């Protein structure tokens, strides 16, 4: 039996992937990878400490404008903190939160979906009823409730982002599992004595990896938007720590005098959601044969 | 058909019951919800009096029973901060929210139906890809960023539009656009896909073979058949998207609607207001979804005429 997860990634594979993308997708990939690198190495790249205040250099504009202060390439905020450094750390936190949230959603939703698809009966009814209810309620409402009750902290935020979107994974996994368990090779595995657990992990899981990867990427972009929105509203991580969304939120008060305070993080959010979403769309189109004709 | 309607209504009732209960127990999870509102320095007597005043005495099950009775009777308690019935507070916010929703929906339909049809007709040319790129941008850019950039340009740079409140028709322009962004993106995509499905059908070829002008073929035979799908999507997706957009956009533009109220009560921890606000929006969304489901079933003869 060939274990499809164990096929090593060949150097030629990456080149084939690259050749199948168009210009916009190539740009998105480059931007996305650059953002990940910037986020990962933020402490090394950032020219200043993101929390370092300097009252004499408050609200200085970016490079090329009058009153620009040397070294603060993208200007400073109302406390004289370097906007570039803060944005890099904000990007790091935003991406970290989004990845943590999306992973929790994947684990939670994936497990429940797998259970629903394999166990059937009562378990399936309960799980799918929960999915239906979650779909019916706009998630922003749930997030507002949770954040109001448990307060805004990093941990609560991760939980909120983790719950967001679990129902999509559950739905997809259940559907795929039901489809796959009808197939002859599962029957063959069962006939040759494979336990349900063995079949689930060894045969079912590897076959639903590709829709999961697609959903994960698309969910990541939604989670970035959700996190930014909540932080922007002042319900996210509390100051002085900043994510990109909360930087836009606080910068809002200084928009007439210091528009760079909102522009820099806002542009970063757009670059992030764009590159992630384009990659997700590309993955989906590749995975879905029916869409290729359109 | 009757069975289908009944099943949909039963599902709706169950969903609403779960929401109402979840909202109650969620707000009790953090101990007494009054704790933050009361603050310190109260005598034991005053504290007991306040707890009774807001109906928070007794065991959690007694409170739950009282709360459920209140929901049925339309009595949702008092706001911690304003000390008046939350139903009144929420009620005066519904009007502005509906106005904003109506103008956003109007803009969404006016923009995305033609765009969606064009994108389907010219899917191989640059027109189609330009429209889909635009729809993509609407999806990927969060609405608060659209709002921020609009405020930066139209209010602070060119001083053309007002930012705060809903006093005049000019006040509607930016919030409406900010809210419509995602909706337009979603509906354009759905319209295009629904049209693509219809365009490939045999009856379209028949209509052309009859010698009908292309505009009649596309609009009367194409769009009208696609409209059932489009409307169902409008009901199912847009209700949720609009509810989420409402919260953000209203908060940014200080629009005196439910969304702004929800954010304010979440930040100030005014639980009774938050509870009832969430329930109101959830009821609206669930009702619209159920109505869409039933309308869709009615439009589909396979379900309408079935016995089951």
Token readout for A133 is 């209810």
pLDDT in tens, B200-219: 888 888 888 888 888 888 88
Please report the pLDDT score of residue A106 as a whole number: 92
Does the distance separating the beta carbons of B281 and A148 come in below 8 Å? no
Q: Stretch A15-28: mean pLDDT, rounded?
A: 79
Asked if pLDDT for residue A69 goes beyond 80, the answer is no
Same domain, B107 and B11: no
Q: Judge if B197 and B91 occupy the same domain.
A: yes
The answer to the question of residue B81 being in a domain is no
Tokens of residue B104, six digits? 């956003």
A234:B141 CB<8 A? no
Q: Is A126 within 8 Å of chain B by CB? A: no
* CATH number for the domain harbouring residue A165: 1.10.3720.10
Structure tokens at B72: 């049925």
Q: Is B159 exposed, middle or buried (0-12, 13-18, 19+ CB in 10 A)?
A: exposed
pLDDT bracket for residue A99 (50, 70, 90): very high
Q: Residue B272 burial by CB count (10 A; 0-12/13-18/19+): exposed, middle or buried?
A: buried
Residue A90 belongs to a domain:
yes
C-alpha distance from A211 to closest chain B C-alpha (Å): 20
Statement to judge: residues B140 and B283 lie in one domain: yes
Q: Report whether B263 contacts A144 (CB < 8 A).
A: yes
> A113 near A170, Cβ under 8 Å?
yes
Q: Is there a domain that residue A1 lies in?
A: no
* Domain presence at residue B152: yes
Question: So what's the pLDDT on residue A9?
Answer: 55
- Whether A8 is covered by a domain: the verdict is no
Check CB contact of A250 with chain B, cutoff 8 Å: no
Q: What is the pLDDT of residues A178-197, one digit of tens each?
A: 888 888 888 888 888 888 88
Where among B43, B73, B103 does a domain terminate?
Answer: B73
Can you give the residue range of the structural domain that contains A241? 25-292
> Containing domain of residue B194, as a range?
87-305
Give residue B181's pLDDT.
Answer: 86
- Per DSSP, helices labelled H in chain A are 11-19, 23-40, 42-45, 83-119, 121-136, 139-150, 154-163, 166-181, 184-191, 196-199, 205-207, 209-232, 244-251, 260-287, 289-292
Residues B214 and B120 in one domain: yes
B36 and B129 in a single domain? The answer is: no
- Does the residue B204 lie in any domain? yes
When the pLDDT of each residue in chain A is averaged and rounded to a whole number, the result is: 82
Q: Which residues of A touch B136 (CB under 8 A)?
A: 277-278, 281
The set of residues, in sequence order, having a beta carbon less than 8 Å from that of A206 and lying 6+ positions away, is A3, A4, A5
Asked if residue A4 belongs to a domain, the reply is no
For chain B, the domain total comes to 2
Contacts with A235 from chain B: Cβ below 8 Å = 263, 266-267
Give the pLDDT of residue A292. 45
pLDDT of residue A293: 44
Lowest mean pLDDT among A4-18, B41-55, B63-77, B156-170: A4-18
**Is B10 in the same domain as B143?**
no
Distance CA A87, CA A268 (A): 8
DSSP-derived 3-state class of residue A51: coil
The CATH number linked to B197 is: 1.10.3720.10
Chain-chain contact of B281 with A138 (C-beta, under 8 angstroms): yes
B11 in a structural domain: yes
Q: Which of B21-35, B99-113, B230-244, B271-285 has the highest mean pLDDT?
A: B99-113
- State whether B113 and B195 are in the same domain: yes
pLDDT per residue as tens digits for the range B223-251: 888 887 788 777 777 777 777 778 888 88
Query: Are residue B48 and residue B155 in the same domain, yes or no?
Result: no
Per-residue pLDDT of A211-251, as tens digits, reads 888 888 888 888 998 899 888 888 888 878 888 888 888 88
Q: Does a structural domain hold residue B107?
A: yes
Chain B nearest-CA residue for A262? B148
The least confident of A1-10, B159-168, B292-301 is: A1-10
Q: Which chain A residues touch B143 with a CB distance below 8 Å?
A: 229
Q: Is residue A237 part of a domain?
A: yes
Q: Is residue B178 part of a domain?
A: yes
> Among the three residues B38, B73, B108, which one is the final residue of a domain in this structure?
B73
Q: What is the mean pLDDT of residues A147-160?
A: 85
Under the banding of pLDDT at 50, 70 and 90, the label for residue A1 is very low
Q: What is the mean pLDDT of residues B7-16?
A: 85
Number of domains in chain A: 1
* Cβ neighbour number for residue A22 with a 10 Å cutoff: 10
Do residues B257 and B246 make contact, with C-beta atoms less than 8 angstroms apart? yes
- What is residue A10's predicted lDDT score, i.e. its pLDDT? 57
With beta carbons under 8 A apart, name residues in chain B contacting A290.
none
B107 and B64 in a common domain: no
- Does residue B99 share a domain with residue B248? yes
Contacts of A216 (CB under 8 A, 6+ apart): A102, A106
- The whole-number pLDDT of residue A95 equals 92
**Confidence tier at B41 by pLDDT (50, 70, 90):** low
- Residues of chain B found within 8 Å of residue A140, distances taken between Cβ atoms: 243-244, 247-248
Residue B82 lies in a domain: no
- Taking the CA of residue A266 and the nearest CA in chain B, the distance in Å comes to 6
Given a contact cutoff of 8 angstroms between Cβ atoms, the answer to whether A247 and A90 are in contact is yes
Q: Is residue A18 in some structural domain?
A: no
A199 has a pLDDT exceeding 90: no
> What is the DSSP annotation of chain B?
-HHHHHHHHHHHHHHHHHHHHHHHHHHHHTS-TTHHHH-S---HHHHHHHHHHTT--S-HHHHHHHHHHHHHHT---B-TTT-SBHHHHHHHHHHHHHHHHHHHHHHHHHHHHHHHHHHHHTTTSHHHHHHHHHHHHHHHS-HHHHHHHHIIIIIIIS--S--SSS-SHHHHHHHHHHHHHHHHHHHHHHHHHHHHHHHTSHHHHHHHHTT--HHHIIIIIIIHHHHHHHHHHIIIIIHHHHHHHHHHHHHHTT-SSHHHHHHHHHHHT-HHHHHHHHHHHHHHHHHHHHHHHHHHHHH-HHHHT---
Is A260 inside a domain boundary? yes
Q: Tell me, yes or no, whether B265 and B179 share the same domain.
A: yes
Last residue within a domain, chosen from B73, B97, B117: B73
B79 within domain boundaries: no
Higher pLDDT, B91 or B29: B91
pLDDT band at A108 (very low <50, low <70, confident <90, very high): very high
Q: Do B172 and B282 fall into the same domain?
A: yes
pTM as predicted: 0.83
Question: For an interface test with A, which of B266, B273, B281 has the most A Cβ atoms less than 10 Å from its Cβ?
Answer: B266
**Is B136–A281 a contact, with Cβ atoms under 8 angstroms apart?**
yes
CB within 8 A of A10, min separation 6: which ones? none
């Amino acid at each position: 039996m060939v274990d499809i997860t164990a096929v090593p990634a060949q150097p030629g594979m990456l080149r084939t992937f690259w050749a199948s993308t168009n210009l916009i997708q190539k740009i998105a990939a480059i931007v996305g990878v650059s953002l990940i690198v910037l986020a990962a190495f933020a402490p090394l790249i950032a020219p200043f400490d993101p929390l370092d205040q300097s009252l004499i250099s408050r609200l200085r504009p970016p490079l090329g404008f009058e009153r620009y202060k040397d070294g603060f390439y993208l200007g400073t905020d109302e406390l004289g903190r370097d906007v570039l450094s803060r944005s890099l750390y904000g990007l790091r936190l935003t991406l970290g939160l989004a990845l943590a949230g999306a992973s929790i959603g994947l684990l939670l939703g994936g497990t429940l979906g797998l259970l629903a698809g394999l166990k059937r009966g009562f378990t399936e009814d309960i799980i799918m009823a929960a999915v239906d209810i979650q779909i019916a309620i706009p998630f922003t409402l749930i997030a507002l409730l949770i954040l109001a009750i448990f307060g805004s902290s990093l941990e609560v935020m991760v939980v909120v982002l983790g719950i967001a979107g679990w129902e999509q994974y559950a739905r997809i996994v259940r559907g795929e599992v039901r489809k796959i368990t009808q197939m002859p090779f599962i029957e063959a595995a069962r006939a040759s004595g494979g336990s349900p657990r063995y079949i689930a992990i060894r045969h079912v899981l590897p076959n639903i990896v590709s829709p999961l990867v697609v959903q994960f990427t698309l969910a990541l972009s939604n989670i970035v938007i959700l996190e930014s929105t909540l932080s922007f509203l002042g319900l996210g991580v509390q100051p002085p720590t900043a994510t990109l969304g909360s930087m836009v939120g606080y910068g809002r008060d200084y928009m007439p005098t210091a528009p760079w305070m909102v522009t820099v993080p806002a542009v970063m959010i757009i670059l992030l959601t764009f590159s992630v979403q384009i990659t997700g769309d590309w993955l989906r189109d590749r995975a879905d044969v029916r869409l290729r004709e359109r | 058909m009757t069975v289908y309607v009944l099943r949909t209504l039963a599902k709706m009732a169950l969903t609403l019951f779960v929401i109402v209960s979840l909202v109650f127990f969620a707000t009790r999870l953090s101990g007494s919800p009054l704790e933050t509102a009361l603050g310190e320095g109260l005598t034991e007597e005053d504290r007991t009096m306040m707890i009774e005043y807001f109906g928070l005495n007794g065991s959690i099950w007694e409170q739950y029973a009282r709360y459920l009775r209140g929901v049925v009777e339309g009595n949702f308690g008092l706001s911690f901060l304003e000390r008046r019935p939350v139903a009144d507070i929420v009620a005066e916010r519904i009007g502005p929210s509906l106005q904003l929703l109506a103008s956003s929906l109007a803009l969404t339909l006016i923009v995305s139906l033609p765009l969606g049809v064009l994108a389907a007709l010219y899917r191989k040319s640059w027109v189609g890809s330009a429209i889909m790129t635009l729809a993509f941008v609407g999806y990927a850019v969060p609405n608060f960023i659209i709002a921020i950039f609009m405020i930066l340009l139209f209010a602070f740079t060119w001083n053309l539009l007002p930012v705060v409140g809903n006093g005049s028709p000019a006040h509607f322009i930016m919030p409406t656009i900010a809210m419509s962004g995602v909706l337009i993106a979603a509906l354009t995509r759905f319209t295009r896909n629904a049209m693509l499905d219809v365009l490939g059908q045999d009856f379209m070829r028949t209509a052309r073979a009859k010698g009908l002008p292309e505009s009649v073929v596309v609009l009367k035979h194409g769009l009208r058949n696609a409209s059932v799908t489009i409307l169902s999507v409008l009901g199912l997706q847009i209700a949720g998207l609009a509810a989420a957009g409402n919260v953000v956009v209203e908060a940014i533009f200080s629009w005196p609607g439910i969304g702004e109220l929800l954010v304010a009560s979440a930040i100030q921890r005014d639980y009774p207001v938050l509870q009832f606000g969430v329930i109101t929006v959830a009821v609206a969304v669930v009702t619209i979804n159920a109505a869409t489901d039933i309308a869709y079933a009615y439009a589909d003869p396979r379900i309408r005429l079935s016995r089951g």
